[in-house]
Amino acid sequence: MPDVNEKPSESNDVPLNEYTHIVYSVDGLEPPTITKIGVALVNEQGKYIFDVNPYHSKGDILLYRKEKLKE
């Protein structure tokens, strides 16, 4: 299981230029509010590195994998 409990400042000191996932905050049910709050990168060891704005995260977190990954 990947470690997703790191704070962004501990895992990454610079913004991610390449990423594998888009990170959204989902709040409410009807209608849900979906806000893009950052990006994430899964490295070769399967560890998630987040670059998110925690001040906009008001609900559950949704990770969306990009369709095309850079080769």
| Structure tokens belonging to residue 30 | 């009807």
Q: What ranges do the domains of the chain cover? A: 8-65
- Asked if pLDDT for residue 3 goes beyond 50, the answer is no
- DSSP letters, the chain, are -------HHHH-SS--SS-SEEEEEEE-SSS-EEEEEEEEEE-TTS-EEEEE-GGG--SEEEEEE-SS---
Measured distance between the N- and C-terminal CA atoms of the chain, rounded to whole angstroms? 24
User: pLDDT tens-digit profile of 17-54?
Assistant: 778 888 998 888 889 888 899 999 888 888 888 888 87
